[in-house]
Amino acid sequence: MELLLTAIIISLTLILAFSDGANDESMSPLLGSGIFSMKAACIVGALSIIIGALLLTSRIKHTLSMELIRVSLSGEAVFIILVSSLAWLLVTAYMGWPSSLTQAIIGSAVSVALVKYGIHVIDANILFKLVIGWVLSPIIGLVMAFTIYKTLQFAVIKRIKTISERESIEYIAAVMLIPWSILMGASRCGNDLATILAYLPLQFRTPMMDLIGGGVVALGLLTLGRRVLRSMGFKLVKLVPSSSLSVLMSSSLIMFLATQIGIPFSATHVMSASIIGAGAARGSAVSTYNVLKLLVIWMTSFPAVFGISLVLAEVFL
């Protein structure tokens, strides 16, 4: 029975990893710039995912599995965490909302730990830092992207006198998108994959599992990720290479910082806010409807999945 439960947990973990790749928006500025094809964006994304899986998962896994919840979770508890998170992601995907896998898993884990072990196993200081990070990181992303583009506009773009000069600047910005896209993709994977793998049984928290998980995330991006890339790259605001660069510089720096301090942020919300900030700085029309959807899901993900897990834990644990 224990072996069967472990197999189910591993399967659900890999399904979540695949789903994370299918909803990976980190290459959307690269695609939205209009310079790179979908194929190129997906290839860069897949390579960056493997880099992140191998190099950037350890600190966030430690925060979630050793500091936030100070007890080893049972197989039944981990099963409920994974089922609750997957259920919430499926609901929001059906509704077309850009949900946060990070908030879903952590909300579920805190809820299950509270029911099964009591409030004393949850580190309130770490939880407070997580919530503050979720609130502030999109705001900081929006402001940073806005400021970066305005600085670029003042220092470079407004001094351009000819169309050929503007094309040259945009071409340089397009070339610079590649390293920033790799940093964003790697940081997002380090953040999300670490969150997905954090509550696996201890014997599976290995570099090999990181590599397998990264491969599954990359597969999700390559097979089903195109819809999200198109949506984020083209529908939220209109991007050009220079504004795409502002988005990636902002969001990748924030997400890389998250992996280094061991506090998982929501890459979806950071990226979305950065796109809105760069678009607003450029004077592009921003979709009010999509912004409202982001705000709603931003505020409801953690409490919603917390409630789902609370009910399941009360019934089955």
pLDDT digits (tens, 9 = 90+) for 177-193: 999 999 999 999 999 99
- pTM for the model stands at 0.90
Contact present, 299 and 131 (Cβ < 8 Å) = no
Q: Write the pLDDT tens digit of every residue in 289-306.
A: 777 777 777 788 888 899
Instruction: State the pLDDT at residue 1.
Output: 63
Note down the domain range covering 52: 2-316
Instruction: State the pLDDT at residue 62.
Output: 94
Contact present, 225 and 28 (Cβ < 8 Å) = no
- Alpha carbons 312 and 317: distance in angstroms, whole number: 8
Exposure string over 249-278, b if 16+ CB within 10 A, otherwise e: bbbbbbbbebbeebbbbbbbbbbbbbbbbb
The backbone torsions φ and ψ at residue 69, rounded to the nearest 5 degrees and listed phi first, read: -115, 115
Total domain count for the chain? 1
The amino acid occupying position 265 is F
Question: Measuring CA to CA, how many Å separate 248 from each of 37, 126, 270, 274?
Answer: 17, 28, 10, 8
Ramachandran class of 2: left when φ > 0, alpha when ψ lies in -120 to 50, beta otherwise: alpha
Question: Measuring CA to CA, how many Å separate 28 from each of 40, 218, 301, 302?
Answer: 11, 15, 22, 25
Three-class DSSP category at 69: strand
Q: Write the pLDDT tens digit of every residue in 20-45.
A: 898 888 888 888 777 888 999 999 99
Three-class DSSP category at 122: strand
Per-residue pLDDT of the chain (317 residues; tens, 9 = 90+): 688 999 999 999 999 999 889 888 888 888 877 788 899 999 999 999 999 999 999 999 999 999 999 998 999 999 999 999 988 887 776 666 667 889 999 999 999 999 999 999 999 999 999 999 998 999 999 999 999 999 988 888 788 878 888 888 888 888 899 999 999 999 999 999 999 999 998 888 899 999 999 999 999 999 988 887 887 766 666 778 888 899 999 999 999 999 999 999 988 889 888 988 988 888 877 667 777 777 777 788 888 899 999 998 888 87
Instruction: State the pLDDT at residue 98.
Output: 64
